[in-house]
């Protein structure tokens, strides 16, 4: 299962160039890493969102695998229906087993919020579907509205920073932990900066016997207000500040995949993005302390779960 860069680089792209994603968008980078890592046939469902809109504008498509778009909330259910049909046809002997794997992709709006009950249902029923969340921390496709994945203090069009309100007033939802609580074979958090780690996790997600889930941080230059050339650097600092730690849960066993030699303060990451600019004012600088306290507490809890404390 080791990733060999030269071998991967020589494979035919399954997510072709020419899409309409914004310059610097991490989603195309993530999609290429995931699909190039998986050697077996893949069928994918995709929720409404940036990825779907930018990759499938009629009469063109970026996808070089069988792919279906469904509504904002139910890409996971669509994938589970295809998987169930495939298993039924195999049992009846109507098709040969080609080792096809089924995946679903959605943004944080389609995953954390609108589609959570559907994803939970697919997991509870035990479908062999790997779900990937492309987490850019807001509803970017429809106007940069806050989601439950949005960081505390972030400015969005529905949590605007002003003289009284310091951006989003709630901490983000711990979705990866919520999915892990379903006790499925494989759950992970990943980052396109650590490409080998992400690609390995993609391979694991389709290899397990049962549901799998990967939550991938996907920086958005438009919504996060950072330079489009800094996407991977922003992703890197998110992990080095422990705002976005990398870990996996295999059959209930928690494992830390990356431990920074020096844990950077959250201010390093916040300063890279215009959506947090208002926090560096006397009126709202106390929010930075709250964010640091939350990140420190979450990091310590993760270390304990992974036996690293």
Are the CB atoms for 156 and 138 separated by under 8 Å? yes
- Please compute, for residue 73, the number of CA atoms within 13 A of its CA located in the half-sphere on the CB side: 8
Domain that holds residue 88: 5-151+173-261
Q: Tell me whether residue 213 is in a domain.
A: yes
Rounded mean pLDDT of 164-183?
A: 97
Q: Tell me whether residue 105 is in a domain.
A: yes
pLDDT band for position 9 (50/70/90)? confident
DSSP state of 241: T
Mean pLDDT over the full length of the chain? 96
Q: What is the CATH number of the domain that holds 118?
A: 3.40.50.970
Here the tokens at position 41 are: 């046939």
**So what's the pLDDT on residue 7?**
84
- Render pLDDT for 70-111 as a digit per residue (tens, 0 to 9): 999 999 999 999 999 999 999 999 999 999 999 999 999 999
- Please compute, for residue 66, the number of CA atoms within 13 A of its CA located in the half-sphere on the CB side: 12
Instruction: List Cβ neighbours of 74 (8 Å cut-off, separation of 6 or more).
Output: 47, 115, 118
Q: Say whether pLDDT at 1 is over 70.
A: no
Greatest alpha-carbon span in the chain: 69
For 218-238, give the DSSP string. Answer: ---HHHHT--GGGHHHHHHHH
Q: Tell me whether residue 209 is in a domain.
A: yes
Rounded mean pLDDT of 128-146?
A: 98
Rounded mean pLDDT of 47-73?
A: 94
Q: Tell me whether residue 145 is in a domain.
A: yes
Q: Tell me whether residue 26 is in a domain.
A: yes
Residue appearing with tokens 């989003």:
168
Helix, strand, coil in percent for the chain, rounding step 5? 40, 15, 45
**Collapsing DSSP states into helix, strand and coil, what is residue 248?**
strand
Q: Tell me whether residue 180 is in a domain.
A: yes
Q: In total, how many domains does the chain have?
A: 1
- Render pLDDT for 207-258 as a digit per residue (tens, 0 to 9): 999 999 999 999 999 999 999 999 999 999 999 999 999 999 999 999 999 9
pLDDT band for position 65 (50/70/90)? very high
**So what's the pLDDT on residue 309?**
81
Residue 124, phi then psi, degrees to nearest 5? -60, -35
Percent of the chain with pLDDT over 70: 100
Q: Tell me whether residue 274 is in a domain.
A: no
Q: Tell me whether residue 159 is in a domain.
A: no
**So what's the pLDDT on residue 5?**
81
CA 137 – CA 109 distance, rounded (Å): 8
User: By CB neighbour count within 10 A (0-12 exposed, 13-18 middle, 19+ buried), where does 152 fall?
Assistant: buried
CA 93 – CA 79 distance, rounded (Å): 21
Q: Nearest 5 degrees, angle CA 251-CA 256-CA 262?
A: 175
């Amino acid at each position: 299962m080791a990733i060999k860069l030269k071998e991967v680089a020589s494979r035919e792209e399954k997510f072709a160039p020419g899409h309409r994603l914004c310059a610097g968008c991490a989603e195309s980078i993530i999609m290429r890493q995931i699909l190039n890592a998986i050697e077996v046939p893949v069928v994918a469902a995709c929720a409404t969102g940036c990825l779907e809109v930018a990759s499938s504008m009629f009469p063109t498509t970026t996808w070089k695998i069988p792919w279906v778009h469904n509504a904002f909330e139910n890409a996971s259910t669509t994938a589970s229906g295809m998987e169930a049909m495939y298993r039924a046809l195999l049992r009846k002997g109507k098709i040969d087993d080609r080792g096809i794997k089924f995946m679903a992709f959605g943004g944080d709006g389609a995953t954390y919020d609108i589609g959570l009950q559907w994803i939970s249902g697919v997991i509870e029923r035990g479908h062999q579907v790997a779900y990937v969340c492309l987490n850019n921390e807001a509803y970017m496709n429809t106007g940069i509205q806050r989601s439950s994945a949005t960081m505390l203090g972030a400015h969005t069009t529905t949590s605007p920073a002003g003289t009284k309100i310091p951006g989003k007033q709630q901490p983000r939802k711990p979705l990866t932990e919520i999915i892990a609580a379903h006790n499925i074979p494989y759950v992970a958090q990943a980052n396109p900066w650590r490409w080998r780690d992400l690609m390995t996790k993609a391979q694991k997600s389709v290899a397990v016997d049962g549901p799998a889930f990967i939550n991938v941080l996907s920086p958005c230059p438009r919504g996060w207000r950072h330079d489009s050339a800094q996407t991977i650097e922003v992703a890197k600092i998110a992990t080095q500040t422990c705002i976005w730690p990398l870990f996996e849960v295999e059959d209930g066993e928690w494992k830390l995949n990356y431990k920074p030699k020096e844990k950077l303060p959250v201010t390093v990451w916040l300063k890279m993005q215009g959506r947090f600019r208002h926090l560096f004012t006397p009126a709202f600088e106390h929010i930075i302390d709250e964010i640091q306290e939350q990140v420190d507490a979450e990091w310590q809890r993760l270390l304990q779960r992974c036996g690293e404390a």
